[in-house]
Amino acid sequence: MGSHVWRPLYIALVLVALILVARSFLVPDDFGIQERGYMYGWHRKGNETEWKAVVVKYRTAAYCQKCHGNKAESLARTPHGIISCENCHGPALNHPDDPPTLTIDRSRALCLRCHAALTTPTSGRARIRGINPHTHNPEAECTLCHDPHNPTSRSDRDEQARLSQK
């Protein structure tokens, strides 16, 4: 048989070799079958580390308490004590280094997340005091009258004071 018969075979072999060489450079060393097996664990192991390295933005109330202990303590005595500081004050990130001050969300929309009255008889929402946003001082910011760090109303506070005197 003449060489022209074998030539396509050589070309094919060279192509396969080229692909294998390219593959060895392109596929990362840590790519392969990991702990969860071929069906669920065929991946680049290093990607797990990449996901672990994502920056934590919300540092939790425990982080805030390190410096703002007084605030946290007084807030804990009110019904709003269950709300994480960062829900209204924004993510702490590396505060106080970066950012030095946090952007506080004082908007009406923030309060309405819980305090817009809804008809939800079979959820926890039914136990929260709600207002109709369209009729309850629609132009005013909530913080004009209400203190989010001490949300109980004046009459409630008077009632508590009366009870504590007895």
Partner 1 sequence: MNRRDFLKNSITVIAGLAVPLSALELVNPRSLLAGKGDGPALRWAFLVDTQACVGCGFCVKACKTESEIPNEINITRTWVERYVVTRDGKTFVDSPRGGGDGFTTDHIDLNEHGRQEITAEKIEKAFFVPKLCNHCDNPACVQVCPVGATYQTPDGVVLVDRKHCIGCAYCIMACPYGVRSFHPVYKTAEKCTFCYHRITRGMKTACVDACPFGARKIGNLRDPDDPVTKTIMSGRVGILKEQYGTKPQVYYLALSREVK
Q: Taking the complex as a whole, how short is the minimal distance between the CB of residue 131 and partner 1, in angstroms? A: 10
Question: Pick from 17, 18, 21, 109: which binds partner 1 (CB under 8 A)?
Answer: 109
The count of residues in the chain is 166
Residue 13, both tokens: 């072999």
Please state, in angstroms and rounded to a whole number, the distance separating the CA atoms of residues 8 and 109: 72
Nearest C-alpha neighbor of 78 from the set 156, 163, 164, 165: 156
Nearest C-alpha neighbor of 67 from the set 104, 97, 110: 97
Subset of residues 26 to 45 that bind partner 1, contact rule: CB under 8 A: 31, 34-36, 39-44
- Burial (CB count <10 Å: 0-12, 13-18, 19+), residue 3: exposed
Q: Does 128 bind partner 1 (CB under 8 A)?
A: yes
Q: Measured from the CB atom, is 109 or 144 closer to partner 1? A: 109
User: What character string, x for contact with partner 1 (CB under 8 A) and - otherwise, covers 44-73?
Assistant: x--xx-xxxxxxxxx-x-------------
User: What character string, x for contact with partner 1 (CB under 8 A) and - otherwise, covers 69-108?
Assistant: -------------xxx-xx---x-----------------
Q: Does 9 bind partner 1 (CB under 8 A)?
A: no
